[in-house]
Amino acid sequence: MDASIVLGVVSIALALGLFAMYRRLYSQTRSPFGLALLVFAGAFVAQSALTVASDLSAMPIIPESFVPFLFGIGLCEATGLGAMVWTASR
The pLDDT-based confidence of 34 (bands split at 50, 70, 90) is very high
- Per-chain mean pLDDT for the chain: 93
- Using the Cα atoms of residue 82, residue 42, residue 1 and residue 62 in order, give the sign of their dihedral: negative
Kindly report the pTM of this predicted structure: 0.89
If you average pLDDT over residues 6-16, what whole number do you get?
Answer: 95
**Single-letter amino acid, residue 85:** V
Instruction: Provide the 8-state DSSP code for 89.
Output: T
CA gap 45, 42 in Å, rounded: 5
pLDDT at 41: 95
Residue extents of the structural domains in the chain: 2-57+64-88
Which candidate, 82, 72, 75, places its Cα nearest to that of 13? 82
Q: What letter would DSSP give residue 64?
A: G
Residue 49: which pLDDT band, with cuts at 50, 70 and 90? very high
